[in-house]
Homo-oligomer: A and B are copies of this chain.
Amino acid sequence: MAEATIRDVARRAQVSIASVSRVLNGASNVSEPTRCRIEEAVRELGYVPHAGARSLSMARTNALGVVLPDLHGEFFSEIVRGMDREASARGYLLLLSPLHGESERPAVALRAMRGRVDGLLLMAPQIEKDALALALPSGLPSVLMNTRADMGNASIHLDNEAGARAVADHFLALGRRQIVHIAGPKGNIDAQERAAAFARTLAAHGIETKLLPGDFSEGSGVAAVERLLAECATFDAIFAANDNMAIGALGALRRAGIAVPDAVAVAGFDDIPLARHLGLTTVRVRIAELGQRAVSLLLDLLEGGDAPSGRIDHAPELVVRATSDPGAAQS
């Protein structure tokens, strides 16, 4: 049988659809007997309101669009978990649209959201400012996460600079001087900021950073270390632009019989759950919290009407563990 509609309910209860709608939405001005008849009809027909139709007429969907790049592993789950926590606490659903294949036009993904969601969460560290401005649906309240553009949109930014600086200072304090950075993807703003701040901090102490390419994948961390070994390079510390690569590097070092942290200290960025288990020194981002705050900001924007506008900064924090400090306590 086809799904029952509000009209079926109305017919069965011998009332108009208006009354049914009122009962469904808990309007007060319906007499007791009528309400009962309607509720019974609803029950008998197993009627469930059609959310799509409702959002059309109310111009409100109770859903948020989430557009993420092809995130690796735990970063993805953590951020979605955080977003979901806040969203469902406030009665919203999450509509996921991965931007995978950075090649693909982001515009497509964004356009598909029109009329489906009340607001948009967009994380696009790869996209150029102009492309982004073009792709962003103008009518949709949006929160940008870790993007370059700053065009009046509410946004939340990770303080990559502070994080990278903390790692540099930490390495310096450990007395390391031959320092390697495994960078993230070329166009990625987070990767760029981390690399730049890291190199700058070291340079201020007269130390040159050896830069290796990477793409945020574990494999690229492995490759970077293998390349160092092949070149017979000497180094006593590695800072990878994210934990995934740091973990790859760690594995490669272990296989090569290089002592961590004695010979080489290693640090990552993100503090994914795995980092704790492996004793990886890293920069804690509180990823879930980042997602949660982004949603919270967006919903305030939506519900409050007035913009707390804001550009929020999300501050990271250095977590020292065994890969840089042999005596590091479990944390």
Contact = CB atoms under 8 A, between A and B. Distances in A.
Interface of A: 1-3, 46, 48-56, 61, 63, 73-74, 76-78, 80-81, 84, 88, 93-98, 100, 111-116, 137-139, 247, 251, 273-274, 277-278
Contacts of A2: 139
Contact of A115 (B49, B76, B96): B49
B51 A113 contact: yes
Contacts of A55: 52
B52 A56 contact: yes
A115 B46 contact: no
Nearest to A91: B112
Contact of A95 (B63, B80, B247, B277): B63
Tell which of A54, A80, A115, A139 has the most Cβ of chain B within 10 Å: A115
A93 B95 contact: yes
Contact of A274 (B53, B81, B111, B274): B274
Contact of A138 (B46, B78, B273): B46
B74 A73 contact: yes
A98 B114 contact: no
A298 B26 CA distance: 35
B84 A115 contact: no
A138 to B, nearest CB: 6
Contacts of A46: 138
Contacts of A114: 3, 48-51
B115 A54 contact: yes
Contacts of A80: 76-77, 80, 96
Contacts of A247: 277
B112 A51 contact: yes
13 contacts: A1-B138, A3-B138, A46-B138, A48-B111, A48-B114, A49-B115, A52-B56, A80-B96, A84-B96, A84-B98, A93-B96, A94-B95, A94-B96
Contacts of A1: 138-139
A263 B10 CA distance: 70
